[in-house]
């Protein structure tokens, strides 16, 4: 049997990601992402990542996380240059509070990336040559209009080495169907 660099007796823990569910009809990310994200890498809808790598124990603690009773307002504030990509910065004190509460509720150790200062954004373009990113950023700065949007819940995903699989949905409006997985996301 070929050794693929892992011991099959000890399977790797899943990589769990927590994102904010965006009110996409308002999001400037939907169209821009389709237009500018490399198609071979565009496996996901626009998303706002709260945590990049969680353990199963941490995600289990989301059961006791106190969620907002209604959508959380956000502001799509400005385009930002990521070096080899472009994103739209998100501002929201309410979403900052949701993330801080989730961090405290989940506890445990967090990845280096998740332990750093959080800079919420929706990536429009990624892993392109730096000059292409600079051109798009300049273009977006000239015509960007700040707009309001909302986060309607949290989404728990499993990273599958490229695509992500939605594992659980935690809606802020508890009157809607709760944490059932969705098999397909249409945008």
Residue 34, classified by CB atoms within 10 Å of its CB into exposed (0-12), middle (13-18) or buried (19+), is middle
For 114, residues 6+ apart whose C-beta sits below 8 A from its C-beta are 51, 52, 53, 54
The predicted structure's pLDDT at residue 14 = 84
Which whole number is the average pLDDT over 110-120? 94
Domain positions in the chain: 15-171
Which pLDDT band holds residue 175 (cuts at 50, 70, 90)? low
State mean pLDDT over 132-146.
94
Res. 7: pLDDT tops 50: no
pLDDT at residue 180 in the model:
36
40: left (phi over 0), alpha (psi -120 to 50) or beta: alpha
> How far is residue 49's CA from residue 2's CA, in Å, rounded to a whole number?
35
Residue 182, pLDDT above cutoff 60: no
pTM of the model: 0.82
Q: What are phi and psi of 125, to 5 degrees?
A: -150, 140
Nearest to 185 by CA among 160, 161, 172, 166: 166
Helices (H) and strands (E) in the chain, counts: 5, 7
Helix (H) / strand (E) element for 143: namely: helix 130-143
pLDDT, mean of residues 86-110: 96
Q: How many residues belong to the chain?
A: 187
Instruction: Among 1-5, 19-23, 47-51, 120-124, name the one with the lowest average pLDDT.
Output: 1-5
Q: Which residue has the higher pLDDT, 12 or 90?
A: 90
**pLDDT (mean) for 92-113:** 95
Could you give the CA distance from residue 150 to residue 10 in angstroms, rounded to a whole number? 41
Architecture of domain 15-171: Alpha-Beta Complex (3.90)
Q: Which two tokens stand for residue 59?
A: 């995600």
CA dist 152 and 131 (Å) reads 35
The first and second tokens of residue 15, run together, are 């990589």
Dihedral (CA of 80, 85, 91, 97) sign: negative
Region 157-183 average pLDDT: 73
């Amino acid at each position: 049997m070929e050794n693929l660099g892992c011991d099959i007796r000890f399977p790797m823990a899943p990589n769990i990601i927590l994102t904010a569910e965006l009110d996409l009809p308002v999001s400037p990310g939907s169209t821009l992402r389709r237009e500018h994200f490399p198609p071979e890498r565009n496996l996901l809808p626009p998303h706002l990542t709260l945590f990049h790598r969680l353990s199963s124990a941490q995600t289990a603690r989301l059961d006791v996380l106190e969620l907002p009773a209604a959508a959380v307002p956000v502001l799509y504030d400005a385009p930002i240059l990521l070096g080899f990509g472009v994103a739209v910065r998100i501002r929201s004190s309410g979403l900052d509070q949701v993330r801080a509460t989730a961090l405290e509720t989940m506890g445990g150790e967090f990845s280096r990336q998740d332990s750093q200062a959080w800079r919420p954004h929706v990536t429009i373009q990624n892993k392109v040559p730096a000059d292409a990113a600079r051109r798009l950023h300049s273009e977006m700065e000239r015509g960007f209009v700040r707009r309001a949007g909302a986060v309607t819940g949290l989404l728990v995903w499993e990273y599958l080495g490229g695509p992500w699989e939605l594992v659980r949905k935690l809606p802020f409006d508890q009157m809607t169907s709760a944490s059932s997985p969705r098999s397909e996301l249409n945008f």
